[in-house]
Structure 1
């Protein structure tokens, strides 16, 4: 066969492949729902999803996203990602990542944790409540939400940052040992988590917590997980799903090696591991808008020379690629 014939054959093959491939929605839809919680007030959930409606920029908390608010969902048998924010956050803390996932064909349900959010810190150190709430949101999305018929229940992933990073590890099978908290904080009383527990003491029976594990979670992204030191090798022995683990090189909130690095060392199999040069703890949050930079400078200010927006282009691509690879549809 001549070179010209080979090129022609290749062109035809690519054209047919493109014609045969299912088209993905080009934009992200967005809505806010309330998921009933049998143990408390309804949980507020931000939901991003694929659509083909025109999108426009929208501010959301400290940042923003480009979405078609209230637009119809497009697609079926879609994978679901549940998102857990850090201490004092809310569902929009990772809006750019949620948008990127929705544009790639995922439904994303990011909850605001009841009792641990920007407006309510009454259960800030009730860590066992977090994976329980995450499982409640999975129940809602698969069984009660308006999108339930379009979601594939066998393709569920979880994303978490900081306290949310802890949450998704526990939800995926991790059993933290909270008796380690006392010795850790005796040695490091100035660490953020130790100051938090000093001002908001954990429940009296926290060390005897029953942890909610959810076998529906098939892949996990954990960024800068809080209380990493509480996960021993035995405590992580059942976390066997594919895991993408992130650490900020200059994390002053959860300094190395007590958090992400300890989790990495104690996992039963090596995770996909990323260390972000020059990044601080809050650089995993969505890039800030002007209001965020003014009213939330502590979490919106990066180190000189670190470009959070540029980092997030790579971060979002890595997260999307990981979930695509590990939540692929069955043939």
Structure 2
């Protein structure tokens, strides 16, 4: 047995070295409350994920009876140094909290500080319309708060600030880059199938987009502090103002969970190829939009069945972990490449 100890130690050392070479690091997490002036007295329920130094309680953050919590060192000290700062927003108008934690943890393990923004859930469809312009403002407000935080700000590299958004979060990231949703196009979006994913919800609650006040969409301003954007299955891509696409001045990467012939048309970003300067696009074959969600607990499918959704794709049997690895790699690559390049404005078609 004693002869095996040196060999075992050598193996552990090799594994540790391999992890370090891959950019992996212990991940810490802290809860944050960030001011959101556009929302009045509402505070954004947020968290910051980061490369951790020694210490902190090993545990898991977030989670629910259906979705797994994300392993992390709770309240761990930050590792020394300055890191890229990434702001991340996951989900559509009715997304559950903590769905983006797995992605934030993966990016933090690769040497980034990631603030997950969780906007308040709208109480009804009519109130939800304001989320189309409030969520881009959430990004800017959160960045204001993070850059003013005396404990966190010294660890950020202000020249490497990026934004990642999934679903409506992706639409918000496009807005930060200067892309505008056309209010007239949104007003008629539910007249034609395949343009807006929430039409059935709006109709069920008596929301008529033709009568809605969508003027604030025209007031959204880009935020030049963000140097790169990555969007995953972004919403409203068929409703964008064409002239705004040509003026994007930061690199943007889009990822669709599934090939363009299978992805929901409301989430298909392939049509933006060649229309946005510096735009990169990738599709993940075999994935679906539900793979953007956290891993399910062992009882996740049973709980959904008990709640009246026995065939819900939220906890499909296929390997979500494999899709997570692919998506994490694409998002990380888009952020890293984007921080090293800036497109010339006016090159879109």
Q: TM-score category by the smaller chain?
A: 0.7 to 0.9
- What do residues 250-304 of structure 1 show as CA deviations (whole Å, max 9, x unaligned)? 78997237741233353234x22111223222212222223544445635233x6
Q: 1:294 to 1:280 in 2, by over 3 A?
A: same
1:227 to 221, 226, 236: 236
| In structure 2, distance between residues paired with 1:124 and 1:253 | 28
Q: Is the Cα–Cα contact under 8 Å of residues 90 and 111 in structure 1 kept in the other structure?
A: no
Q: How does 1:200-211 map to 2 (within 5 A)?
A: 204-209=212-217, 210-211=219-220
1:214 CA drift (Å): 0.9
- How many residues are aligned here? 305
1:48 CA drift (Å): 0.5
2:111 is aligned with 1:105 = yes
Q: Which residue of 1 aligns with 2:50?
A: 49
1:148 CA drift (Å): 1.3
Q: How does 1:143-182 map to 2 (within 5 A)?
A: 143-144=148-149, 146-182=151-187
Q: Gapped runs of 5+ residues in structure 2? A: 1-16, 342-349
| In structure 1, distance between residues paired with 2:266 and 2:197 | 15
Over the residues paired in the alignment, what is the CA RMSD in angstroms? 3.2
Q: Is the Cα–Cα contact under 8 Å of residues 28 and 99 in structure 1 kept in the other structure?
A: yes
1:125 to 120, 125, 129: 129
| In structure 2, distance between residues paired with 1:112 and 1:164 | 10
Q: Which residue of 1 aligns with 2:251?
A: 242
| In structure 2, distance between residues paired with 1:145 and 1:123 | 35
| In structure 2, distance between residues paired with 1:28 and 1:122 | 39
Q: Which residue of 2 aligns with 1:319?
A: 331
Q: 1:194 to 1:46 in 2, by over 3 A?
A: same
| In structure 2, distance between residues paired with 1:291 and 1:113 | 27
Q: Which residue of 1 aligns with 2:63?
A: 60
| In structure 1, distance between residues paired with 2:283 and 2:113 | 27
Tell me the secondary structure at the aligned position of residue 80 of structure 2: coil
2:273 is aligned with 1:272 = no
| In structure 2, distance between residues paired with 1:58 and 1:165 | 23
Q: Is the Cα–Cα contact under 8 Å of residues 252 and 281 in structure 1 kept in the other structure?
A: no
Q: Which residue of 1 aligns with 2:99?
A: 93
1:230 CA drift (Å): 1.2
| In structure 2, distance between residues paired with 1:309 and 1:146 | 34
Q: Is the Cα–Cα contact under 8 Å of residues 177 and 207 in structure 1 kept in the other structure?
A: no
Tell me the secondary structure at the aligned position of residue 309 of structure 1: helix
Q: 1:38 to 1:318 in 2, by over 3 A?
A: same
Tell me the secondary structure at the aligned position of residue 80 of structure 1: strand
Q: Which residue of 1 aligns with 2:314?
A: 300
| In structure 2, distance between residues paired with 1:190 and 1:227 | 7
Q: Is the Cα–Cα contact under 8 Å of residues 24 and 109 in structure 2 kept in the other structure?
A: yes
Return 34-43 or 318-327, whichever deviates more.
318-327
| In structure 2, distance between residues paired with 1:326 and 1:308 | 27
Q: Which residue of 2 aligns with 1:256?
A: 265
Q: Which residue of 2 aligns with 1:281?
A: 289
Tell me the secondary structure at the aligned position of residue 63 of structure 1: coil
Q: 1:23 to 1:222 in 2, by over 3 A?
A: closer
- What do residues 211-254 of structure 1 show as CA deviations (whole Å, max 9, x unaligned)? 13211111111001011111133122222311211113378997
TM-score by length of 1: 0.81
| In structure 1, distance between residues paired with 2:237 and 2:95 | 19
Q: 1:141 to 1:217 in 2, by over 3 A?
A: same
Q: 1:254 to 1:138 in 2, by over 3 A?
A: farther
Q: 1:70 to 1:222 in 2, by over 3 A?
A: same
